[in-house]
A and B are shown apart, each in its own frame.
Chain A
């Protein structure tokens, strides 16, 4: 089966710093790929490129085998790639609905100008957020005044819609309490069943082991190796992160791109 998403030799420099160096990785639909690594390993940078928020220095991205140009977040959105950012990227002075549709407002044409279709946006946002968090009701409040969990609900609901094919979750549980963390876990499992491909970035190795199918470790902007979650232990992962030691059970190839696919 062809991978849903392929990342090929992605490289990104910030000034002189190699944030990413020749990173290759792939993702199938219905698969959860955990991405782990120290602070500054390059995880967020890689994912921002996939979500169209950053342009790489070189490298390629394919979707269903086709090379695509991801030059803006809107373009990524159109291709079904959504990202929940590490800091959520919510605008504190806008309310939940406004944040939900920010940058992709639904409009009606009137007198030759595009106006907000407030009614429709309201309905859709309400439904989507309730889907994620049935207890959410503060739709008029500026999100700056909401709790961490409520904010998270808005950010997740924005990223998970009918057309989402690839979901990137950058440390989604970092700011959450145990109850809300459990909610996110359940969500990941539910979405997986809907055949989404999910990148799950995190520091809680136990969590990653439990939720992921495969786990990719990064270090200093490079991929150390990929392991199958079912055959790896927490120590294996720590070894990869800390000393770059690849366990015996690792999948072949430099990144996660399997050898036979690299040939064609």
Chain B
């Protein structure tokens, strides 16, 4: 069997995932050559993982929103608002020394994010206002609210305990725990692939290629994270907490999408709302749930970003929605609804961040970086169109 035949037998969805993985590797190698070996340095890998995690996390939610044939333009503002709520409560309102302070403010932040998501989901699903309008309004409202409650001020610093979520000194697993987590992740991953192969959901070539890529990537990343030493020691940082949060959230949500009724409903709603309704899919509740999840993920993103920056600022998260939507689309989500993949979205986020990071390493200006990422977005969808027309 030639390569060509192997590619032809692949499911288009699997083909896209493999293509994204391959592009990622190509991007890394090219930047490594251009930057004289900097890209594959442990420090860069660590940073890349942390920098990508927030966008990737939000992309997981955005993919689901897009599959239901909706859009969420407010994610940056919701992230900004929940981050600011947490910052003000933790730094200004509650006593700085209290041990219960950060867990409580964290919980309030997550609840606030979910409530905002529920509110927007309610307007979309039950009132019937188009999501574009609801979330465009949300973008303005929540950004404005952020400013109102902060009066433009920056709040800093957070409690030490809270900083475990942002990676870095307080937010890294350390070497031993990282290998253990990595081992567990590998077992779970290969187990899932094997099960798909057995049940016929995945073909042998995909299982082999995907399994090989994923295991190599996992082991390589952990090796790199452990090789990045804490300052003035030879103890490796290990897995950064944002990446761990991303992995846990994506796995958990992925399980629901693939193994619970609600997953099928999400795809059904986006593909043909009327048909889904006729056969008894609770279409409105599905959309409500997806937006609630998006809100929650925004809040988790806010926790990561503020914890990492060690400050709550008014313009936290502005323009983030654009990167998130771009990542979802590069990952194969179709704005026509009904199609999209969580794993694809995550890979899309890593592609965007890798390009951005790589270009900073070789000293490219920010305007050129924007231009290139814009072209990559068009290119990704273009290639997709060609592939669809062929099959």
Task: Sort chain A's interface into a size bin.
Answer: 20 to 34
With both beta carbons as reference points, the residue of chain B lying nearest to A85 in the complex is identified as B278
**Within B188-220, which residues are at the interface with A (CB < 8 Å)?**
199-200
A113 proximity list for chain B (CB < 8 A):
256, 260
CA distance A90 to B279 in the complex (A): 9
Interface residues of B in 223-260 (CB under 8 A from A): 256, 259-260
A98 touches B264 (CB 8 A): yes
Name B271's contact: one of A93, A105, A114, A158 (CB within 8 Å): A93
Residue B275 at the chain A interface, CB threshold 8 Å: yes
Contacts of A73 in B (CB 8 A): 277-280
C-alpha gap A40/B152 in the complex (Å): 60
Q: Does B276 interact with chain A (Cβ within 8 Å)? A: yes
In the complex, whether A140 has a CB less than 8 A from a CB of chain B is yes
B interface, size bucket: 20 to 34
B36 in the interface, Cβ–Cβ < 8 Å?
Answer: no
Closest to B256 in A: A113
In the complex, which residues of chain B have a beta carbon less than 8 angstroms from the beta carbon of A114?
260-261
Inter-subunit contact A107/B261 (CB<8 Å): yes
For residue B265, CB closer than 8 A to chain A, the reply is yes
Most chain-A Cβ atoms within 10 A of its Cβ — which of B264, B277, B279? B279
Say yes or no: B276 contacts A72, CB within 8 Å. no
Q: Which of B256, B265, B278, B339 contacts A93 (CB 8 A)?
A: B339
Q: How far is A118 from B199 in the complex, measured between Cα atoms in Å?
A: 10
Encode contact with B along A71-107: 1 for CB under 8 Å, 0 otherwise.
0111001000001010111111110001000111101
Inter-chain residue pair count (beta carbon < 8 A): 74
Question: Which of A51, A90, A107, A140 makes the CB contact (< 8 A) with B275?
Answer: A90
B268 located at the interface, meaning its Cβ lies under 8 Å from any Cβ of chain A in the complex: yes
* A131 interface hit (Cβ, 8 Å): no
Question: Smallest Cβ distance from B274 to chain A, in angstroms?
Answer: 8
Q: Type the 1/0 row for A48-76, where 1 means its CB is closer than 8 Å to any CB of B.
A: 10011100000000000000000011100
Within 8 Å by CB of B338, from A72, A93, A105, A140, lies A93
**Which residue of B271, B280, B338 contacts A103 across the interface (Cβ within 8 Å)?**
B280
Check if A91 sits within 8 Å of B275, measured CB to CB.
yes
B90 smallest CB distance to A (angstroms): 31
What secondary structure prevails in chain B residues at the interface with A? helix
Q: Which residue of B lies closest to A72 (CB)?
A: B280
Contact B259 A115 (CB under 8 A): yes
Q: Does B281 contact A (CB under 8 A)?
A: yes
| Chain A residue contacts of B260, Cβ below 8 A | 107, 113-116
User: Are B278 and A102 neighbours in the complex by a CB distance under 8 Å?
Assistant: no
Let me know if A103 and B200 touch, CB within 8 A. no
Residues of the B chain whose Cβ atoms lie less than 8 Å from the Cβ of A158: 279
Q: Are B200 and A94 in contact (CB under 8 A)?
A: no
Residues of chain A contacted by B350 (CB below 8 angstroms): none
Most buried by B among A48, A72, A105: A105
CB pair B278–A89 under 8 Å, yes or no, is yes
Please, how many angstroms separate the alpha-carbon atoms of A98 and B282 in the complex? Answer: 16
B267 part of interface (Cβ distance < 8 Å): yes
Do the beta carbons of A89 and B279 come within 8 Å of each other?
Answer: yes
Known A-B contacts A72-B280, A77-B280, A102-B281; A89 and B261 likewise in contact (beta carbons under 8 Å): no
Asked, given contacts A107-B261, A114-B260, whether A102 binds B271 with beta carbons under 8 Å apart, the answer is: no
**Which one of A83, A93, A114, A140 has the greatest number of beta carbons of chain B within 10 Å?**
A93
Chain B residues near A88 (CB-CB < 8 A) = 275
> Is B264 in contact with A94, judged by CB distance below 8 angstroms?
yes
Is B272 located at the chain interface by the 8 A CB criterion? yes
CB-based nearest A residue for B258:
A116
Please state if A116 and B259 are interface contacts (CB–CB under 8 Å). yes
The interface bits of chain A over 131-143 (1 if a CB of B lies within 8 angstroms of the residue's CB, else 0) are 0000000001000
| A85 vs B279: C-alpha distance when bound (angstroms) | 9
CB distance from A92 to the nearest CB of B (A): 6
Shortest B296–chain A CB gap in Å is: 16
In the complex, chain A residues whose CB is within 8 Å of the CB of B276: 91, 102-103
Contact A105 B200 (CB under 8 A): no
Q: Are B259 and A91 in contact (CB under 8 A)?
A: no
Is B339 in contact with A89, judged by CB distance below 8 angstroms?
no
Bound CA span A51–B280, Å: 10
A51 contacts which chain B residues (CB < 8 A)? 278
Name the CB-closest residue of B to A119.
B199
Asked if residues A103 and B279 are in contact (CB atoms below 8 Å), the reply is yes
- Are A91 and B278 closer than 8 Å at their CB atoms? no
Contacts of A48 in B (CB 8 A): 278
Q: Given contacts A94-B267, A105-B264, A116-B260, is CB(A87)–CB(B280) below 8 Å?
A: no
The winner among A51, A52, A88, A102 for most chain B CB atoms within 10 A is A102
Task: Give the distance to chain A from B178, nearest Cβ to Cβ, in Å.
Answer: 26
Query: Are A53 and B278 in contact, CB atoms less than 8 angstroms apart?
Result: yes
Chain B 138-160, CB within 8 Å of chain A: the 1/0 string? Answer: 00000000000000000000000
Q: Is the CB of B261 within 8 A of A91?
A: no
B279 partner residues in chain A, CB cutoff 8 A: 73, 89, 102-103, 158
A103 engages B275 (CB within 8 Å): no
Report 5 cross-chain contacts, Cβ distance below 8 Å, ordered by A residue: A92-B272, A102-B281, A103-B279, A105-B261, A118-B199
Which 9 A-B residue pairings sit nearest by Cβ, starting from the closest?
Answer: A103-B280, A73-B280, A105-B261, A89-B275, A103-B281, A74-B280, A89-B278, A103-B279, A91-B268
Extra pairs beyond A51-B278, A113-B256 (17, CB < 8 Å): A53-B277, A83-B278, A85-B275, A87-B275, A88-B275, A89-B272, A89-B274, A90-B275, A91-B268, A91-B276, A93-B267, A93-B338, A94-B264, A94-B268, A102-B265, A113-B260, A116-B260
